[in-house]
Amino acid sequence: MSHYLQSLLGEREKILLATRHHWFILASSIFLEIVLILIIFTATIVASILLTTSMPPAVPIAAVIGFILLLFPIATGTRDFLNWSNHQFIITNRRVMQISGIFNKNVIDSSLEKVNDIKMSQSALGRIFGYGDIEILTASELGVNLFKKIDNPVGFKTVLINAKAHLEQGTPVEAVERKPDVPVMIAKLAELRAQGVLSEEEFQQKKTELLAKM
């Protein structure tokens, strides 16, 4: 959790789910930059090879020009990635938030108490790749919060509905449990077995328990 996000939370407020736009959004925004990088890099290599035989002194100049040209798509691609990574959709036990901006932050939030309806829209591709739109109708002045092409919209809607229900009932709600990294944990158990900390029987028992959680 970033320090900025932590600073936005109130007393006893906790994050239940945090997500971003689907990676399709990032891929579509940096696709042109990737193509330009490949084209400029290839053109620089080809120009350097051709100039090596005809004009050897011009080779360093061609390389420098190619490097300078590469900086532009790299810079815009980095900007697009930072915009994507800093645009978050968050559900807490009190509200739903949307945070955007790299340096200048823009925060929009709605209290769970004011959430009236939640609408989810998924295309056929959205169902296959796990993205969709979430439209939240509230009683606040904003009226409607539209989260377009977010990752795992089904999980987002489920957590939001559950959080609102728990708030209305006055019961606590736990954060979404993340599945353990089973292969990593099995590898660590194997190391303990090799060190003699675990017996073969204990290792197999623990391994079976972890595989059951997958």
The CATH architecture of the domain made up of 3-21+87-169 is Roll (2.30)
High-pLDDT (> 90) share of the chain, %: 48
Check if the beta carbon of residue 157 is closer than 8 Å to that of residue 96.
no
Check if the beta carbon of residue 99 is closer than 8 Å to that of residue 106.
yes
Q: Name 106's Cβ contacts closer than 8 Å, sequence gap at least 6.
A: 99, 100
Q: Helices (H), strands (E): how many in the chain?
A: 7, 7
Q: Name 214's Cβ contacts closer than 8 Å, sequence gap at least 6.
A: 179, 182
Query: What tens digit of pLDDT does each residue of 62-108 get?
Result: 788 989 999 999 999 999 999 999 999 999 999 999 999 998 999 98
pLDDT at 182: 67
Residue matched to tokens 């073969």 = 200
Strand partners, 90: 18, 97
Query: What tens digit of pLDDT does each residue of 9-64 get?
Result: 888 899 999 999 999 899 999 999 999 999 999 998 888 888 777 777 766 887 88
pTM of this structure: 0.69
pLDDT at 175: 46
What is the Cβ-side half-sphere exposure of residue 84, based on CA atoms within 13 angstroms?
A: 19
What is the amino acid identity at position 101?
Answer: G
pLDDT of 178 higher than 60: no
Write down the mean pLDDT value for the chain.
85
